[in-house]
Structure 1
Amino acid sequence: MASVDLDPLLLLRQSISDGSAIIPTTSADTSSSGPPPEASLSQATHLQFTNPTRVSIPIDTPTRFVSNDEPVNLRSIYFAWLNREVAIPEYNASATKLNDELTGTAAVHKFAFVERLDLITWLESASEESEFIKPLAGEKDGAVPGAAGAAKATSKAAVVSASARAGRGTLDPRLAQIYDGERRMGDRNTVLRGIKPTDFSHVRKLAQPFMSRKPSPTATALINNPSLALNPKPARRPDPIILLSPSASSLLRMSNVKSFLEGGRYSPPDHNSAVSMLHVSRTMKEIDPTRPMRFILVEGPEQFKPEYWNRVVAVFTTGQTWQFKNYRWSNPAELFKHTLGIYLGWRGEQAPDAIRAFGHRVMPCSIEKWRDPTAPGAETSRWRDREVVEGIWKAIEGNMRAKGWRKDAAPSSI
């Protein structure tokens, strides 16, 4: 099997998609017919996959996921997946405990919250790209050397044949005859150069005199205006961030904000929910009418990097100033100069004095009081929720346009 097919990240993603078993074990042996004894992550030396073929990968193998310019090992990736629904403080505590149990130089990497969300989204096949995952060699430059290039270029039937030989022993002679009659397709490397690697390093010396000369007017124009280049690669737009209030008195928490902002219907929050972050999708027609934008929702900035603050587009607040203690701008008056504030309260009740003191920079919104759905007429008042939600999104979109959000870019500062 080609090295591309044994990529740990692709094996893990495929196993999650298929629901096949992923077993931490202390042995690399895959010859037994039954599953191996499962070991704890602190004792395991290999991670055994069962689909599309049984294979064991060393658990400390570096992957293509890069954090702070360092590849993250397979143990850390699998540990993050197992703890995907755990809150950030509990996840960090579990990682610290596992590091204490590990001996030697092995250690579990602690992901930042955006890295963790991006990884989980990619593993769940909800996204086909990730800013933290390096592309495979074949995807990056089309050059998969040697046998790996030939394996990527073979037909689907050849791959089935290889897996059949590995999994069921001798291949059916009639099926082998059919495979031998198929035409093998090649990529540009095998067609133009064959599978023998070619060294072009000498070309650099020949090109050096030309590269040191003054660039032509055309080259200068392309440097000054990259949009003139042929097929420019579009920049990846970062996801905007919405901060929620962690106060127990807040009407919107992580447990009910998704149904409110996406479905336009309010329901009481579940105060026992352990979700620490999630995302909602919304099409901002005045910014990008062709594709929906994904918004990241969190209750606190504990895992923020400095540049994440440029992506904050709204802050939900109850007026309690302790919410802003760990913010970049802890003074509410200064905070709401940089981003939109939103207060959600009950219709017919006056907003707190603190909200009124914040002035026009905080948008007050009111919804109908929650009533028991079994009570007569309880459902008739909930149709107003969507009207409130549309007003909130309109305000967020207007604030984003004013701060410099565009179809393919985010503001460098707010």
Structure 2
Amino acid sequence: MSSSILKLREFISKKKRDQVKLEPVDDIADATELRVGDEVFGLDEPTQFVTEDKASGESTDHLLRTVYHCLVCQALSTTDYVSQCESKKIPIISFLERTELISWLTGSSSTCQYVTGKTSAKSSEPEPKKRKVEDPFLAEILANERNLIDHNRALRGGKPIDFSSVAKDCENKIIRPLKQQQRKQTAVVKTPSSADRHKRKDPIIILSPAASALMTMANIKDFLELGKFVDPTQVQVSSNNMLILQRKSQRFGKEVKFLVVDNVEKFFTKPEYWDRVVAVFTTGQKWQFKSFKYPDPNVLFQKVKGFYVHYAGDTVPATVKQWNVQVVEIDRNKRFKDRQTSEFVMDSLEKSMSSKGFGR
């Protein structure tokens, strides 16, 4: 049994999560070690948390990186968890396996059928206490007694049961008809607006994947959060296709979280994601919009806020002037202006969001 997963369970179940940290960086995709108290474990070491692919019959001994990422994402929905795994290139654990693992790590469950090794049983299932007897004959009988099963195993059953078919039947026969009925009733009373949907979900900003773009996944976070612009040619190209921005908004009186992407084909797996888009950064090239819900920029920028960012003194393309986009100038050398420019962009964006009902 890997000592790393046992140590992790010990600290998590005892509410010592603040003593569990990634090293040397706080990003699961780039970190190499996990510090648990005074001990340090490699994130790429196996944990003996073993799952089996029912289609191929192959077993996988998951790494500590996969197990810890599952724990970090315990509050996320299945869709968001899968998106996180794909963006960070971490193996995905199925819903049932993930639920049982988290229950075991947090101490809600004393056993986990997917954690192999005798140490697991010893650490989670104390030996039953022997009764003190005076009768020597009875003592001899009890000395040869063997504990074949305890109450936990008896309640669990002799083999794992797959309830996925039951869940699918519930989805088809109960949940889906209810959702369809609710949609029909809502459509009669009031058609849901994009503003209503924005209240429930984090707004999305789309960047241009063009090489000439001044706003990229590598520098957009510093620019919009800190008011600091760095030329994209002077920073390392980011491998992430999705990141999260957080800003304290005086207009809305709360902290607003934005989801930023530059690849709509990969992440826009559901039509409703387009209803959450509040801004699009463009370089003036129409090919950027070929996979969009509204590929015509004249239609697109009537529905969402558009930005064209360029260096002061550079010529603005004629196509951009024809679109309903906000032209933003970045000074090449005067970095003290970056904060003012960043606030101008966010103020323009928040005005657009407010006009569409966000924050009401």
TM-score (norm 2): 0.52
Give per-residue Cα distances to partners, 1:1-36, cap 9 Å, x unaligned: xxxx99x9989x99975453466xxxxxxxxxxx8x
Give per-residue Cα distances to partners, 1:370-392, cap 9 Å, x unaligned: 5xxxxxxxxxx111011010011
What residue in structure 2 maps to residue 128 of structure 1? none
Unaligned runs of 5+ in 2: 14-19, 23-27, 29-33, 70-77, 111-118, 128-154, 156-185, 187-197
**Alignment partner of 1:363: what SS?**
strand
Q: Is the 8 A contact 2:43 2:65 kept in 1?
A: no
2:227 to 256, 264, 268: 264
1:314 to 262, 276, 279: 279
Matched, 1:396 2:352: no
2:306 to 334, 337, 341: 341
Whole-Å Cα distance in 2 between the matches of residues 75 and 263 of structure 1? 42
What residue in structure 2 maps to residue 252 of structure 1? 215
**Alignment partner of 2:50: what SS?**
strand
Q: Shift in Å at residue 56 of structure 1?
A: 3.9
Whole-Å Cα distance in 2 between the matches of residues 244 and 74 of structure 1? 40
Whole-Å Cα distance in 2 between the matches of residues 301 and 164 of structure 1? 44
Whole-Å Cα distance in 2 between the matches of residues 341 and 351 of structure 1? 14
Give per-residue Cα distances to partners, 1:239-284, cap 9 Å, x unaligned: 2111001111111111111111112111111474433221211122
1:78–1:335 distance in 2 versus 1, CA, 3 Å: farther
Whole-Å Cα distance in 2 between the matches of residues 328 and 77 of structure 1? 38
Whole-Å Cα distance in 1 between the matches of residues 21 and 122 of structure 2? 18
Alignment of 1:226-375 (within 5 A): 237-270=200-233, 272-289=237-254, 292-303=255-266, 304=268, 305-358=270-323, 361-370=324-333
Q: Shift in Å at residue 153 of structure 1?
A: 10
Q: Shift in Å at residue 299 of structure 1?
A: 1.1
Q: Shift in Å at residue 302 of structure 1?
A: 0.2
Q: Is the 8 A contact 1:80 1:116 kept in 2?
A: no
Give per-residue Cα distances to partners, 1:26-50, cap 9 Å, x unaligned: xxxxxxxxx8xxxxxxxxxxxx42x
Whole-Å Cα distance in 1 between the matches of residues 238 and 64 of structure 2? 21
Tell me which amino acid in the other structure corresponds to 1:251. Answer: L
Whole-Å Cα distance in 1 between the matches of residues 59 and 244 of structure 2? 25
Alignment of 1:78-89 (within 5 A): none
What residue in structure 1 maps to residue 51 of structure 2? 58
Whole-Å Cα distance in 2 between the matches of residues 393 and 384 of structure 1? 15
**Alignment partner of 2:265: what SS?**
coil
What residue in structure 2 maps to residue 382 of structure 1? 335
Give per-residue Cα distances to partners, 1:341-396, cap 9 Å, x unaligned: 001111233422111111xx3111101015xxxxxxxxxx1110110100111111
Matched, 1:20 2:13: no
Q: Shift in Å at residue 400 of structure 1?
A: 1.4
Whole-Å Cα distance in 2 between the matches of residues 262 and 115 of structure 1? 25
How many corresponding residue pairs? Answer: 238
Q: Shift in Å at residue 115 of structure 1?
A: 4.4
Tell me which amino acid in the other structure corresponds to 2:251. Answer: E
Whole-Å Cα distance in 1 between the matches of residues 238 and 88 of structure 2? 24
Whole-Å Cα distance in 2 between the matches of residues 294 and 76 of structure 1? 35
Whole-Å Cα distance in 1 between the matches of residues 120 and 79 of structure 2? 41
**Alignment partner of 1:383: what SS?**
helix
Whole-Å Cα distance in 1 between the matches of residues 95 and 121 of structure 2? 32
Identical residues among aligned pairs (%): 28
What residue in structure 1 maps to residue 139 of structure 2? none
1:352–1:406 distance in 2 versus 1, CA, 3 Å: same
1:80–1:74 distance in 2 versus 1, CA, 3 Å: farther
Q: Is the 8 A contact 2:199 2:359 kept in 1?
A: no
Q: Shift in Å at residue 285 of structure 1?
A: 2.8
Alignment of 1:127-142 (within 5 A): none
Higher helix share goes to which structure? 2
Whole-Å Cα distance in 1 between the matches of residues 340 and 95 of structure 2? 40
TM-score (norm 1): 0.45
